[in-house]
Amino acid sequence: MDNLSDTLKKLKITAVDRTEDSLEGCLDCLLQALAQNNMETSEKIQASGILQLFASLLTPQSSFKAKVANIIAEVAKNEFMRIPCVDAGLISPLVQLLNSKDQEVLLQTGRALGNICYDSHEGRSAVDQAGGAQIVIDHLRSLCSITDPANEKLLTVFCGMLMNYSNENGKQN
């Protein structure tokens, strides 16, 4: 995990400099660390203050938006990371990515928003204020009219995102 600390430091620098190769390497390293130990890696990401940088990497022009959305989806699997994702200002840029035509961007963005909404009143509220649910509903309408097996995973993710968005579970965080 020392390598992870180095990666987080390097990511802070490369995110500002926009060094493409270094940035992609750092993002790949984070995804690998999340796959090995999601909770511990998420804690380190939160402690490093790196979440705020992710918002700047979620722009439509960014070539890393799908990877960054994937990282956010992975960290938001942990309940303790959902409010920090909202506080880091990630909801609005994620919702903007729902306007993408790139299937992988849509898939990872749907996962990220769905995980942030899961058992999180703050997450659901932020997605609601950003208009995310309506965009997903519009996507579902168009996806349902096209019977393409390639759309099945996206349909599943968007339905799951809306389920997490609409499910209060009777508790307010």
Specify the long-range contacts of residues 163-169, CB closer than 8 Å, at least 24 apart: 163/114, 164/114, 164/115, 164/117, 164/118, 164/124, 165/113, 165/114, 165/117, 165/124, 165/127, 165/128, 165/132, 165/133, 165/136, 166/124, 166/133, 167/118, 168/121, 168/124, 169/119
Asked if residues 127 and 113 have their Cβ atoms less than 8 Å apart, the reply is yes
Q: How far apart, in Å, are the Cα atoms of 99 and each of 3, 27, 103, 118? A: 35, 23, 11, 22
Tell me what pLDDT residue 122 has.
96
Tell whether 172 is covered by a domain.
no
Residue 173 located in a structural domain: no
Residue 72 and residue 112 in contact, taking contact as beta carbons nearer than 8 Å: yes
> How many structural domains comprise the chain?
1
> Looking at the domain assignment, is residue 34 inside a domain?
yes
Q: Which pLDDT belongs to residue 15?
A: 61
Q: What is the pLDDT of residues 89-138, one digit of tens each?
A: 999 999 999 999 999 999 999 999 999 999 999 999 999 999 999 999 99
Confidence bin at 76 (pLDDT 50/70/90): very high
Is 171 a domain residue? Answer: no
Domain hosting 1: range is 1-166
More confident residue, 20 or 110: 110
Task: Please tell me whether residue 113 adopts helix, strand or coil conformation.
Answer: helix
Q: Examine residue 83 and state whether it is found in any structural domain, yes or no.
A: yes
Report the CATH number that the domain containing residue 32 is assigned in CATH: 1.25.10.10
Structural domain includes residue 44: yes
pTM for the structure as a whole: 0.88
